Every structure is written in structure tokens, then in C-alpha cells.
Chain A
């Protein structure tokens, strides 16, 4: 028990609370004992069909996600499919957040129209205009929720709809590997242990 459970999770209360609903069904087994101890196979990604968002809402969510984790020399939220993760989440374990997203997008459309004559959608704006708009709603529940879920969608298993081909993991250096051999990093390399500690542990 440490930062994750005290600091981290607590710090996320508000946005995470709505996700803390429903356990995902697990298959029961005949017994818990020793079986074939091999890593589980990849569960396939779900089909890309909208389950809660309308196509218009989806386009807005995708535009916002793409500004939270933009595409540059490496893939971003768009390529990872974070908006698909968010749609799937809203239809299942994140049902409680449906009104927050639906109503929040209506308010956002109004804000866009107010600031940009003739426009009604964030996705119609330039990237710079989008960033400016999002900066102005940074503290709203909608943005907090979409920030949380875009990042979650970048790293959740592909079976939840995002993190396509593990590109989120690739971005930060988490590997799709069930086995490592030391040295794991720079500090535990024997040469560096010798330099730092005068011995190898």
C-alpha cells in the first residue's frame, strides 16, 4: 500500500469514482490450484461500433482526446483509439458518467459557438483554437473526465477498445512482456552498481 492507494487513487476521486462500478465478470474455474502457468493470451480488441456516443459526439470526444495526447512523430490518442475506449466505457463500467459527457458536450458546443461565429463543434476548429478552447474548460468535470479516460484508454488493455497494438505502452516504455532478465535498467547494471555502491548486489 503506498502512493497508488493513498495518494494516487485519492487524488483521482471525483473522476474515478464513476468508474468504480461493477466488476467485470470472470470465468470460474474448477479449482484454483496449479495449472498451466503460462501468460494469458491476448484478448481481442472489440469491434469498432458505437455503443453510447452518437457519431457527432464521438467526433468531438475524439478531437478532445487527440489534443490531450496529440499525434506528433509518434502515434497519439487518435491512433490508439482512446475515443473507442471512452465510448465502450460509457456503455459499461462508466455508465454513471453518461450525463456528464452528454450534457458537457452540449455546453461545449455553446461555448464554441459563442467564441467562433458560425462554428458549433470543437472538431471544426484549428488545433491552436482547440487548445485555447480546452484550456478555458480545463477545470470542468467534462475535461477532467475526458483527460482521465483518454489517458486510461491509452494504457488499458486493447480489449477495452483503446491502446491499439499497445501503442500507449510503447509511448512510455511499458512492454508487452511477461518476463524480464536483469539488468532491468541503468542503475542495476553491474558496472553502475559497482560505481554507485562499490559492489554488486
Chain B
């Protein structure tokens, strides 16, 4: 039995530490681990709780409906509008995990790398009207060592040898692929029929024991669920415990930062946060690394305005909160003759990147990929039977007996365009339970993206039919996606201080000792699986931040 973790270090509240890191997810947990490895003291602040394995029930109602492990609709209300001209109305649009580990506490753990095209598509393909496209200030090759470092640090299962359009890997994956699942075989079968390439999905789930952690037990509860076995390589099981073991990190969970403090010289001096009893605590630091996610990071900057930074901290460009991107999820669902039992095994085991880059003749920007899976357990799978099936009564009951076990979804994951009006901003009226301005989301899909999603949805039907589906039903495509969990682009990186928030090392253009790294750093959205890139950016940022600190350049 694994031994209980040392609790880490405790810093006196009066002590100025080297770094405060805000957020313990894929970005913040990694930054904390990397900075402590470099000898720095870190206070890691996380607004969620530390949730132990014995509380990780297969609780579908809690996970997917009542918000047991996600941001709280009552205490953290939000508003939404589609365009800046509209008045925003109460609606919980942004969802994220509220726990130590952030998103990686409950992710599906798809760990796709980006490819070179994801960093320079603007140069290669040109712009799109109505979209604020730009190249990233870094290339794939600059990020590659950090992709590799992440994969080996946390344990990623996959296969590089099939060489199907995969970008350069300086090392293979540390672990072989996970068990193939029923939907995985169906995806392979469909791809073979269509002549599409396919491969083992790279997943941040252990296929073998790794660094003292147990491999996947194939329970099937990945998406939106924490892993009771510790086989998912989330920061709650990897980076955060390592940071704590260093003896240089203190984790303070249930700590909700309300303001990043600055002085007259325009430098960050620390943060003010509410502890779990709602006491205000000031934690001073030589530098702050903000990793609160693509919605909460810009919100905190906007909430941290001062006389010196009247439009919000690090917002001289005016782009904090702008260019919000979610990734598209066009797909469809198929019914199969035999038992698929898609609820057993990892949610995803095989993928196709056949449509990663599209024929320019299609006139579509971006691209994406597919996996096959069952996204949700029995409750939501049964509740969401299409209108063509019986909805209640005897016929319904007969139908549900084979529905859950005989379906699979072809799930698409695509790029989405950065649009300046799509944004996170502060609601002018609504406040959260702590009295802070609430998140206001403004979002409308770009017309080009709607065509891209339609193209992918059509391919998903094609894939299911080739795999032998006897019936298919399609997910709706709407310019209001309804709910979002991939939170990208809102503090974009760039070389130009007038059009971006952070530089290529994640230092804010405006404040020398403030860094931001998380999904908000993205310049473009990638093809639908952002988490590995967020984590690789965090490793790279921490590497540079540590070097700056050692050279006295912070």
C-alpha cells in the first residue's frame, strides 16, 4: 500500500516567499514542481479542495449534474451573452474542476501533442476574415523537449512507431498503449474501410506501473471523474505530491485569490486571498505565476486593477480576456449489432488524425481528429436517447436494456478560431459569494468554424457507418455551443506588447515579476486536446523563470 504523503512545508504567513503559484492544475502543479526542483520556495494556492481517493465514488449525478467536483453555480454564478451588444443573462457557461489537480483531477486524459502547423498556420494558410489569427512566438521544435519531459515526468501511454504524420518525438512514450476497447476496434475497422490512418491514442493514463503508481484498472469512469486508482497522471497524483516532497512547497487548498497586489513601481508584491473560513490573507512573494485557467486567469487580472493599472493588471494591450476559444466537438453516435460495452476500459484507446490538416480546396481553416467512445455513464446516456427512440414507458424500458451496451460515439475534436469579441470579462452587476465581479462570457462561433464542424460531423457519420453502425444520430451544431470546458486564448502570448499579454517566456509585457501560463496563453486553439500543450508550456515557462530568477532578472 502506498505510504501517506509528507504534507510539505509550512511557511509563516509573514514570510515573503520566492513564488506564489495560483492554481494547481496541469499548468500550476507543474510550475510548482519545476520551481521547487530548481531550489525555489513556492506557496501553491488552489481554490478547490484536496479530495482523497476514498471519496472518488462513481457518482454520475454528482460529477455531471450537481457539480460535486466542479465550480459552484450558487457561489460562483456567471453570465453569458453572444455578442458585446447583447445584455448578458445568468447562465453557467464555463465549467472547470474545483479540486487540487485542476482539470487533470477529472480529465479524460487525451494527451495529443500539437504539430508544427498548430504554431504557424497563419503563415502557412493565411488569415480568415473576422478572426484574429497570428503565429505563435514559439515553434514546435522549441516546445518539443518539454512535451517529452512532461510525458516522462507524469507517465503517458502511447505509440510513436506508427509514424502517421506524428511530429518529431525526441523520445518514444514511456509506456505502451492502453488496452484497446470496443470503440477502439470499431474506429480501426471504420478507418480501414475508409482508407483512413489510425493509431493508438496517447493518454495520460498508466498502462503499466510507473513511478510507484498503479496502472489503469479499466473501470471506465474517466471523463469528468477522478481516478480512484491513481492511474490517471493528473497533477494531483504527480506534480503536486512531488512539489510537496521537495520540502520547498506549501499547498494551500480552498484558497481563493481575489487580487494580485502591485506597488508604486509597478511590480507585483504578492496576493490577497480568502482562506476556507473567508479570512483575507496576504501572501507576499518575489514573483507570481498565474495558472488559474483560461477563464479565471483573465478574471483575476481584471479584478486586480489599481490606480497604476486602471484597466486591469497586465492589460495595457486591452486584450486580457479576449480571443476566447473552446475547440469544436462535432460528432455523432451509432448503434451496433453486438455488445460494444464502451463503458469498460479507458474512454479513448484509438484515434484518427486523417483530417488533422485539410485539403485547402475545402476552404476550411484548421482541422482535427476523432476518437470513438462513450462519453458519459448510464444516466446521461439513457437520458439522451434520440427522439427517434421511445422516451418513456414499456417500449422505452425494453429499448434501454440494450442501448447503453450497444452504442459508441464518433467524437470529433477540432480547432476553433480566435475572435476578438469572444471573451471573458467582468459582469458589471453580478457578484460571486465573496462579493467579486462574476465571470461574463461572450461567445459566438465564427461562421467558418460552423462549416468546419459540419464537415467533421459528416465525417463522423461516415466513420460510424463504415464501422458497421446500424443507426446514427448527430449532435446539433449551433453558434452557441452551450457549455465550455476547454478555456483558451484569453491572455495570448506574442512578441508585440500592444497585441498580446505575455511574451514568449510567459512573462507579462507590463509587469516584470508576473507570469501567466495556462490555456490562456494559446495563440490558436490546436486541434481539440489542449492539456499536454498547456503542461509542456508550463514546463518550458518554469525552466525560463528559474533561469531568470537565478540570474537576478526578475
Chain B residues, Cβ within 8 Å of A10: 476, 478, 481-483
Q: A6-B483, A155-B378, A177-B219 are contacts. A35–B52 as well, Cβ < 8 Å?
A: yes
* Nearest CB in chain A: distance from B349 CB, A: 8
CB pair B228 A40 closer than 8 Å: yes
Q: Which residues of chain B from 6 to 54 have any CB-CB distance to chain A below 8 Å in the complex?
A: 7-8, 49-54
CB pair A193 B54 closer than 8 Å: no
CB pair B214 A37 closer than 8 Å: yes
CB pair A201 B404 closer than 8 Å: no
CB pair A6 B379 closer than 8 Å: no
B320-349 Cβ-contact flags toward A at 8 Å (1 or 0)? 000000010101010010111111110000
Residue of A with least CB distance to B387: A11
Residue of A with least CB distance to B251: A31
Residue count of chain B within 8 Å CB distance of chain A: 118
CB pair B404 A173 closer than 8 Å: yes
* Nearest CB in chain B: distance from A74 CB, A: 8
Of the candidates A76, A93, A174, A177, the one whose C-beta lies within 8 Å of that of B404 is A174
Chain A residues, Cβ within 8 Å of B344: 180, 184-185
Among A5, A38, A186, A193, chain B packs the most CB atoms within 10 A around the CB of A5
A44 at the B interface (CB under 8 A):
no
* Nearest CB in chain A: distance from B432 CB, A: 14
Residue of B with least CB distance to A68: B392
CB pair B394 A72 closer than 8 Å: yes
CA distance A194 to B5 in the complex (A): 46
Residue of A with least CB distance to B59: A157
CB pair A7 B392 closer than 8 Å: no
CB pair B56 A201 closer than 8 Å: no
B533 at the A interface (CB under 8 A):
no
B58 at the A interface (CB under 8 A):
yes
B217 at the A interface (CB under 8 A):
yes
CB pair B486 A152 closer than 8 Å: no
CB pair A197 B188 closer than 8 Å: yes
Q: Which residues of chain B from 187 to 229 have any CB-CB distance to chain A below 8 Å in the complex?
A: 188-189, 192, 200, 212-214, 217-220, 223-224, 228-229
CA distance A180 to B238 in the complex (A): 24
B100 at the A interface (CB under 8 A):
yes
CB pair A37 B186 closer than 8 Å: no
A125 at the B interface (CB under 8 A):
no
CA distance A154 to B392 in the complex (A): 13
CB pair A5 B329 closer than 8 Å: yes
Q: Which residues of chain B from 174 to 193 have any CB-CB distance to chain A below 8 Å in the complex?
A: 179-182, 184-186, 188-189, 192
CA distance A76 to B481 in the complex (A): 35
CB pair B213 A34 closer than 8 Å: yes
Q: A37-B214, A173-B341 are contacts. A152–B179 as well, Cβ < 8 Å?
A: no
CA distance A66 to B198 in the complex (A): 46
B127-153 Cβ-contact flags toward A at 8 Å (1 or 0)? 000000000000000000000000000
CA distance A174 to B401 in the complex (A): 10
Q: Which residues of chain B from 366 to 407 have any CB-CB distance to chain A below 8 Å in the complex?
A: 373, 375-384, 391-394, 396-397, 400-401, 403-405
Chain A residues, Cβ within 8 Å of B391: 147
Chain A residues, Cβ within 8 Å of B66: 19-24, 93
B428 at the A interface (CB under 8 A):
no
Q: Which residues of chain A from 1 to 46 have any CB-CB distance to chain B below 8 Å in the complex?
A: 1-13, 16, 19-24, 26-41, 43
CB pair A23 B253 closer than 8 Å: no
CB pair B68 A171 closer than 8 Å: no
Of the candidates A26, A39, A93, A178, the one whose C-beta lies within 8 Å of that of B49 is A26
A119 at the B interface (CB under 8 A):
no
Of the candidates B54, B185, B213, B475, the one whose C-beta lies within 8 Å of that of A3 is B475
* Nearest CB in chain B: distance from A4 CB, A: 4
CB pair A31 B7 closer than 8 Å: yes
A165-201 Cβ-contact flags toward B at 8 Å (1 or 0)? 0001101111001111110111110001100110001
Chain A residues, Cβ within 8 Å of B68: 23-24, 26
CB pair B476 A28 closer than 8 Å: no
Chain B residues, Cβ within 8 Å of A28: 49-50, 253-254, 276
CB pair B403 A4 closer than 8 Å: no
Residue of A with least CB distance to B221: A178
CB pair A26 B404 closer than 8 Å: no
CA distance A171 to B186 in the complex (A): 25
Chain A residues, Cβ within 8 Å of B327: 1
* Nearest CB in chain B: distance from A146 CB, A: 9
CB pair A40 B377 closer than 8 Å: no
A67 at the B interface (CB under 8 A):
yes
* Nearest CB in chain A: distance from B270 CB, A: 24
CB pair A182 B61 closer than 8 Å: no
A148 at the B interface (CB under 8 A):
yes
CB pair B345 A180 closer than 8 Å: yes
* Nearest CB in chain A: distance from B261 CB, A: 27
A151 at the B interface (CB under 8 A):
yes
CB pair A34 B212 closer than 8 Å: yes
Chain A residues, Cβ within 8 Å of B485: 1, 5
Q: A5-B329, A40-B55, A152-B61 are contacts. A35–B219 as well, Cβ < 8 Å?
A: no
Of the candidates B61, B228, B405, the one whose C-beta lies within 8 Å of that of A178 is B228
Residue of A with least CB distance to B236: A32
CB pair B67 A23 closer than 8 Å: yes
CB pair B53 A156 closer than 8 Å: no
CB pair B401 A185 closer than 8 Å: no
CB pair B393 A186 closer than 8 Å: no
CB pair A184 B341 closer than 8 Å: yes
Binding site for B on A (CB under 8 A): 1-13, 16, 19-24, 26-41, 43, 67-70, 72, 76, 93, 131, 134, 147-148, 151-152, 154-157, 160, 168-169, 171-174, 177-182, 184-188, 192-193, 196-197, 201
Sample of 9 A–B contacts (CB below 8 Å): A1-B486, A13-B482, A24-B66, A29-B49, A29-B50, A37-B214, A70-B394, A76-B397, A182-B218
